[in-house]
Amino acid sequence: MKRGIFILGVLQMVLLGLFANSLYAGDVRGVTDKEIRIACLVDFSGPGKFAGKPLAMAAKTYIKYINDQGGVHGRKIKLVVVDNGIMPNTTLAAAKKAIYKDEIFAIGFNLGSAGSSAIIPLIEENEVVMMPHGANSKFYRPGNKWVFVPFATQYNMGSRAMEFIIRERDAKARVGVIYQDDGYGRDGLNGMRAAAKFLGVKIVKEAPYKLGSIDLSAQMRQMKKAKVDWIISWAYLSQIGAIMKTKAQMKWDVNVIGPNTTAYRLIFPILGKLADGYMAVTPVVPFQDTPAETVALLKKYKAYDVIAKTPFPTLFLSAFPYFASMVEGLKLAGPDLTPESFIRGLEQVKDLDVLGLFPKITFTPDRHVGYFSSMVVKAFAKDKQFEVISPIKNPVTPQD
């Protein structure tokens, strides 16, 4: 009888142990003893679908590089790529799929600021860290516990553009702004306005346009009537093409500078010689300046030749700081991984170098944006490439 009771007790202890282990293994969504599931939400079907393939490939390349080193604390990273269609409603559907069906631990990359805004209540409810690409200043002012931004925002780059003109080119420049009338364009404009106020100058003329507009001749006429000699255009590549073509038709020698989303080599087949002299603010080094050790790494993973042929090489590289900072946060979180320990780990990331391609990333409990700095590049049509004309600098305009 006693023997039977003893055996029953042992069995109960074993079963309780197995049950406890089962609970532990499933206690943190997306985390097992051997794996961490991280989502990459990019656009394959919407207005930003040109970016989907290179960004997904970059994410896969970086994760393979990390897994080949053994992963993080003995866990390999499982990358879950989901089409978010870039719009708010489609991004929300993609995030729900990633969280509820794919059971991811965190969203390492989400393309689109509007979509990122749409899913904030969802990530808060489910305790999911999210890193938005195309973020604007509201993602760090005042900030959100679950959101980390390892890339310069449009506000930061808008400030840098204005400072470049006034502090490095012409203190008496007459600056006009053509901007996309949405969150993306207005965030850049707000950065310019803040810099203008800080520097004690005025923006001579502001001319908005609606998303999708491709005829900006009216805005260009407003700029010429205002007698500006510099135009900051917070637009996408199609609109920059329209501005540069209109500039040529008007035979107007005016300087034009825009955001990182226009510093792509695609501008040269689109505009040919008309691209010559166009400038852009970006945190990403031109592709030809990629450090030799990074080139070797990309070649090892058979990515370099693919990137070299694409008209968006810097777009490909833009995914790296997201997954690099996420991996660093996982390392600093330690082996006992939870959403809370992950946040603490990310908030300890300091001076993280991302393959020599970007400004170094630092997060703190009070600042979830990795850096504010960027450089200015200029298009040289003859060589079909952008070259740095002003190195990485922090805006002097307060960004916090």
For 120-132, how does the pLDDT look when each residue is reduced to its tens digit (9 = 90+)? Answer: 999 999 999 999 9
Q: Give pLDDT tens digits for 266-310.
A: 999 999 999 999 999 999 999 999 999 999 999 999 999 988 888
CB-based burial, 157-187: b 16+ in 10 Å, e otherwise: bbbbbbbbbbeebeeebbbbbbbbeebbbbb
Average of pLDDT values for 199-217? 95
- CB-CB neighbours of 320 under 10 Å: 21
Please give the pLDDT value at position 11.
44
Domain with CATH 3.40.50.2300 in the chain: 35-152+289-369, 155-282+375-393
Burial of 360 (0-12, 13-18, 19+ CB in 10 A): middle
Q: Cβ(94)–Cβ(111) under 8 Å?
A: no
Q: Cβ(374)–Cβ(283) under 8 Å?
A: yes
H or E, element range at 317? helix 313-317
Q: Give pLDDT tens digits for 76-103.
A: 999 999 999 999 999 999 999 999 999 9
CATH code at 35-152+289-369? 3.40.50.2300
Residue 90: beta bridge partners? none
CB within 8 A of 383, min separation 6: which ones? none
Instruction: Quote the pTM value.
Output: 0.87
State the pLDDT confidence band at 26, using cuts at 50, 70 and 90: low
Longest Cα–Cα distance of the chain, Å, equals 103
d(CA 126, CA 102): 13
State the pLDDT confidence band at 316, using cuts at 50, 70 and 90: confident
The second-level CATH assignment, the architecture, of 155-282+375-393 is 3-Layer(aba) Sandwich (3.40)
Which two three-digit tokens encode residue 380? 């040289």
DSSP one-letter string for 260-309:
GGG-STTHHHHHGGGGTT-EEEESSPPGGG--HHHHHHHHHTT-HHHHHH
Average of pLDDT values for 252-279? 96
d(CA 235, CA 257): 10
29: three-class secondary structure by DSSP:
coil
Q: Give percent above pLDDT 70 in the chain.
A: 94
